[in-house]
Amino acid sequence: MSILDKILCHKQQEVADAVARMPLSEYRARCRDLEPTRGFAAALSSRSETGTAIIAEVKKGSPSRGIIRADFDPVRIAGDYRDGGATCLSVLTDREFFYGDLAYLQQVRDQVSLPLLRKDFMIDRYQLFEARAAGADAVLLIAAALESAQLEDFAAEAAELGLDVLLEVHDETEIAKSFRVAAPLFGINNRNLKTFTTDLATTERLLPLLPPEALPVAESGLHTRADIERLQRAGARAFLIGESLMRETDIPAKLAELQGGSHV
């Protein structure tokens, strides 16, 4: 069983437990009265025209790396990302494997005005309502974790809730099964979710195959300005970066380096 298989198996029980605590009907009611979302995809598109659009990730750890940042304070980290010029934020909410929590999303939303992505393994429409109620402006849908019909249905439901979708692919097969999905953002994850190894050549290989109307986002394995410039040449217009930022003592300075000083 791959790491992804283990995560998805556990996620089914996690969602069932959440539904038992709070039914979907209650989340539906909560979502009716929320303020409009803050335009996650629009912010990335606008920034990519004039500089480097970075989605900075609030991430305590991962299955492959363990704890990445021991002094983890999601709100303080989000503030550092804002001060460093990040365009948007990604907040890990998976507890079992990535040391996250849905509560982190709400905490960050209350203190930082940047658009937020709920980063998790979405296997049920219930999680879309969870995300919206907790303050997300966008959600991640992973092609490796969902069937084509699920991807289409979840993307449509997300749009009805005002949530942008970042649809993540890892290979040519996943692009083919995702091509009809109405997602404004397509992410190419340079990390293989079965082995958790990374290779920037994945973005270079797959980007020309993406739907032409989607904004391409490069994910994982980005550590330097040279990495970003390499993938910009391949056509990437936004970059999701977590681990290399979380390991820094001076996060705003690292963000400035990754942007080539473009946020100053």
Q: What is the pLDDT of residues 120-150, one digit of tens each?
A: 999 999 999 999 999 999 999 999 999 999 9
Judge whether 90 counts as a catalytic residue: no
pLDDT at 262: 45
* Domains of the chain listed by start with CATH number: 3-258 (3.20.20.70)
Q: Which of 168, 174, 204, 243 is catalytic?
A: 168
Judge whether 160 counts as a catalytic residue: no
pLDDT at 57: 98
Q: Which of 48, 152, 220, 254 is catalytic?
A: 220
Q: Which of 11, 59, 60, 254 is catalytic?
A: 59
DSSP state, residue 4:
H
pLDDT at 40: 98
d(CA 181, CA 174): 11
pLDDT at 103: 97
Map tokens 């409009």 to a residue: 36
Q: Which of 119, 152, 192, 204 is catalytic?
A: 119
Counting as low any pLDDT under 50, the low residues of the chain are 262-264
Q: Which of 48, 90, 178, 189 is catalytic?
A: 189
Torsion of CA 54, 59, 62, 68, to 10 degrees: 100
Q: Which of 14, 57, 204, 243 is catalytic?
A: 57
This prediction has a pTM of 0.95
d(CA 212, CA 209): 8
Q: 18: how many CB neighbours lie within 10 A of its CB?
A: 17
Q: 113: how many CB neighbours lie within 10 A of its CB?
A: 8
Judge whether 189 counts as a catalytic residue: yes
pLDDT in tens, 78-100: 999 999 999 999 999 999 999 99
Q: Which of 152, 174, 204, 219 is catalytic?
A: 219
* 3-class secondary structure, 220: coil
